A and B are shown apart, each in its own frame.
Chain A
Amino acid sequence: MSDILVYALHYEGAFNKNSLGAISEAARLAAELGSQAHAVVIGDASDELAASLGGYGATKVFRAKDVPEGLAQPVIDVMAHVMADGGHGYALFGGGLLGFEIGAGLAARLNAGVTMEVTKVDVVDGRLTAERPIHGDSSISTSSYKDRGIVIGRLNAFEIAQPGGDVAELQDVSVELSPWSTRATMVTRGEARGAEVDIEGADFLVAGGRGLGKAEGFELCEALAAALGGAVAATRAVVDAGWYPYSTQIGQTGKTVAPKLYLAAGISGAIQHKVGMQASEHIVAINKDSNAPIFEYSDLGIVGDLNKILPKLTEAVKAKKA
């Protein structure tokens, strides 16, 4: 009853990094519990791809070939079926969007306990205990489970193990979907919206948020990024608003970066943004609101008007580097 089931999201022939982190973490925990880590793979994944999860510690992979990937509710059906059959005591998800939806729905289906935004999982007295930062990361709450437990990790919370050569046992499962699970259908998936920009390789990033006021505000970021020799990144809010390309987005459903310098302009700094850039070597924030959460994790914070500061800063950086 203490086997751990992990949802392994894949797209265009590769597993999601956060899913691989979750499998690595599940394998580590299962070893401590004296149980096994298993994975669920949905849709069109080759035998080789599915079995490769063995390299990260999954001993068994359940594949539901005929189920569409990309929406949460069919996955809930598959995982509930596998867990009922196999008696798994836990489900574990890496960070991202689908894991939150699947994990929460699965908790309802199985009448299980669920904890989200988890940053650390431990084995205490033979059971899993999850740690979750709350209230803007000012405190950490711990939870354990009376019965089944569902643990949804925060983005990048679980480290990916160095893959070994083990191959997982592959078992195809056939699951009848719930009527309501088929009432949402994907029309188009994974539209990039905007230019393809590489921000993950940049040493210097100037990131813009809603505080820029309008799409044209990004010109200030572009000028400073050019002076620094870096690239421009954006928050989800402004990407959703169509101000900047999706490929530059930091955070929960975007990129994770760790540049030498991350300069955040007009970004309040919600957790979903923080998880994508907190590993940056130096963080500088400019925001007019002195209460903005980003100041709590900046090395240098400037309370002021970015429209006044950025142009002058660009000139000063150019002069210094000349």
Chain B
Amino acid sequence: MKICVLVKEVPDAAVEKRIHPQTGRMDRGGERNLNPYDTHAIEAAMQVKEGGVVDVEEIVAVTMGPGTAVRALHKAVSLGADRSVHLSDDALAGSDVAATGYALAKVLERESPDLVLLGQQSDDGECYTIGAVVADHLRMPSLTQVIKIEVSPGSLRCERQAEYGYDTVDVALPAVISVGDAINEPRYPSLKAIMGAKKKPLDALAIADAGIEADRVGEAGSKVICGDFKAPPAKSGGTIIEDEDTADTVAQIVAWLDERKLLA
């Protein structure tokens, strides 16, 4: 069995967010790292491999992004992936969700995995959706926000929370599964794994290598026209108390609540 894990680099959450004063957009110049949600997908792949129910020959981390995205792949490999694939091409710049999903699906087709895993969302935008796009292109069954996976040969029993409570769903392989962050506690990479990550095979692909049609990606190939950015309605910031003396902090909270007649 072969597992591909889709990963993405995102601005590091530990770095303070900056909005560019002129454009109002996020300043993306800062540190970038592996999307924290993706570490749960890699861990899920490792647990399938180590679970021993099925034989996992290989875990492959796959990403699409600029040159800096290699860092995210190195992190993914340090967490357990055996090798990685990096799709990078100027023609991909400005791809919307549908175009990105198409391009990733073409890369995955080359790998013909039995299972594609990804995180439930990315830290910086595309919410929940990329798995469903990829699955439709690959013609595979798909489920998102899965919090428990039981593996059998040829199929998975998955649990996830939907609108009316918890659903248990059987999914035949090959399949595309996005996992929720409650599925596991990702391990920390060992120093050896971090040091060795750069030596693991990394396939760098341009769009032609993956058979991606240039007119279906990038800004021209995207069906969403991005318009203006605007500022949300101004909200007056709340009061912040740094707790130094808890008795005093509590007195302030009680006074605040009492002023608003919440303790009557």
Contacts and interface: CB of A to CB of B under 8 A. Distances in A.
A162 interface: no
B262 A204 contact: yes
A209 interface: no
B182 A108 contact: no
Interface stretch (B41-49, B63-71, B97-105): B97-105
Contacts of A253: 161-163
Q: Which of B143, B144, B225 has the most CB of A within 10 A?
A: B225
B17 interface: yes
A295 B238 contact: yes
B119 to A, nearest CB: 14
Interface in A76-133: 76, 96-98, 100-105, 107-109, 111-117, 129, 133
Contacts of A241: 182
B27 to A, nearest CB: 10
Nearest to B20: A139
A138 B20 CA distance: 11
A304 interface: yes
Interface in A171-185: 178-181, 183-185
Given A116-B127, A139-B19, A301-B240, A187 B170 contact: yes
A97 B175 contact: no
A72 interface: yes
Given A101-B128, A101-B144, A112-B223, A237 B97 contact: no
Contacts, number: 275
Given A193-B165, A246-B161, A301-B240, A142 B132 contact: no
Contact of B242 (A115, A260, A303): A303
Contact of A113 (B147, B224, B237): B224
A31 interface: no
Interface string B225-264: 1111111100101111111001101110110111010110
B133 interface: yes
A278 to B, nearest CB: 10
B130 interface: yes
A194 to B, nearest CB: 10
Interface stretch (A22-30, A32-40, A41-49, A309-317): A309-317
A308 B246 CA distance: 7
Interface string B19-59: 10000111000000000000000000000000000000000
A142 B232 CA distance: 12
A70 B162 contact: yes
A197 interface: no
A186 interface: yes
Interface residues of B, number: 82
A201 to B, nearest CB: 17
B254 A320 contact: yes
B141 interface: yes
A72 B254 contact: no
Given A73-B141, A136-B17, A240 B262 contact: no
Contacts of A239: 161
Nearest to B260: A282
Contact residue range for chain A? 35 or more
B260 A143 contact: no
Given A113-B98, A241-B182, A321-B263, A139 B25 contact: yes
Nearest to A129: B227
Contacts of B98: 107-108, 111-114
Given A72-B142, A133-B232, A253-B162, A145 B223 contact: yes
A9 B232 contact: no
A184 B172 contact: yes
A214 B76 CA distance: 28
A188 B181 CA distance: 22
A146 B175 CA distance: 31
A309 B231 contact: no
A143 B232 contact: no
B250 A313 contact: yes
A302 interface: yes
A277 interface: no
Interface in B129-148: 129-137, 139-145, 147
Nearest to A283: B238
B187 interface: no
Given A104-B132, A141-B226, A184-B170, A98 B260 contact: no
A71 B225 CA distance: 30
B26 to A, nearest CB: 5
Given A96-B162, A143-B225, A240-B147, 10 more contacts: A101-B132, A104-B132, A107-B97, A129-B227, A138-B17, A139-B25, A282-B262, A297-B235, A303-B243, A316-B254
24 contacts: A16-B163, A70-B162, A72-B132, A100-B129, A101-B128, A101-B144, A107-B223, A108-B98, A134-B125, A135-B19, A136-B17, A140-B230, A140-B232, A142-B226, A149-B223, A191-B165, A228-B263, A260-B262, A291-B16, A296-B237, A298-B238, A301-B240, A302-B253, A304-B243
Ordered nearest first, which 3 A-B pairs have the shortest CB separation?
A304-B243, A240-B182, A113-B223
